[in-house]
Structure 1
């Protein structure tokens, strides 16, 4: 009986250590940020470890130098670079607490150990040849079937 209690105490201690470690990692991830400034300094984007834009600075000259579509593209490119950099930083924080065969960057992307086939969306069903003209569920026996339910 005492042996089982010792096992339970050990399990609880291990659980508490794991939770403390998880909390420390979460606190560290919450502080990870990356700021990238575009070439020419027209745009600066700061991204959090989750890939969320937390700050966006657009130089006043950007509106005079770039057309709206070009400015939008510059913001997207700069954000992508900041996201790539912050993912590398966050992966370094996460690496010590995940199994050695786990890719921390894939885990952060939400893909973990999924293969390319598993990540590819299934093709949408093709209903283009179906028509519902002049059809009624009430005339096809559907109403009769519905009453039986």
Structure 2
């Protein structure tokens, strides 16, 4: 009986260690952010571990230097760089708790070990438009 109790105690201790480690990862991810500044130095974007834009700073001079489309492009590109930095940092935080051979980037993207075929949306057999015509006036729906 004592042998079983020791095994249960060891399992509980392992569980608590794993749970504490996971809680630490969650805390680290919750405080993680990635920032980037545009090459012109006028736009700075900060994103969360999930890639959500949390801060955006646009220098007043940006409105004089860039046309609206150029400024929008600078914001998008700078945000993408910040998101990539946050993603890399999140992968580094998650990697130590993953089983060997697990890709932390794929896990964070939600794809883990899924194949491309498993990731593709399922084909809906009811969504065939093969017999539908919209060319005849007043005729809608299937022929």
1:42-57 correspondence runs (5 A): 42-57=42-57
- Whole-Å separation in 1 of the counterparts to 2:117 and 2:73: 30
Q: For each residue in 1:49-101, what CA deviation from the matched residue of structure 2 results, as whole angstroms up to 9, or x when unmatched?
A: 12111111111122222232222222111111111111111111111110121
1:1-149 correspondence runs (5 A): 1-123=1-123, 125-127=127-129, 129-130=131-132, 131=141
- Whole-Å separation in 1 of the counterparts to 2:112 and 2:46: 25
Shift of 1:118: 2.1
- Whole-Å separation in 1 of the counterparts to 2:4 and 2:38: 61
In the superposition, the TM-score normalised over structure 1's length comes to: 0.78
Structure 1 unaligned spans of 5+: 134-149
Give the root-mean-square deviation of aligned CA atoms.
2.0
- Whole-Å separation in 2 of the counterparts to 1:108 and 1:119: 15
Larger radius of gyration between Structure 1 and Structure 2: 1
- The alpha-carbon distance between structure 1 residues 120 and 72, as it changes in their structure 2 partners (threshold 3 A), is farther
- Whole-Å separation in 2 of the counterparts to 1:61 and 1:97: 45
Q: For each residue in 1:23-74, what CA deviation from the matched residue of structure 2 results, as whole angstroms up to 9, or x when unmatched?
A: 1111122222221000111210011212111111111122222232222222
Shift of 1:127: 3.4
Q: Which moved more, 1:108-117 or 1:9-18?
A: 108-117
- Whole-Å separation in 2 of the counterparts to 1:98 and 1:87: 16
- Whole-Å separation in 2 of the counterparts to 1:79 and 1:120: 27
Shift of 1:116: 2.1
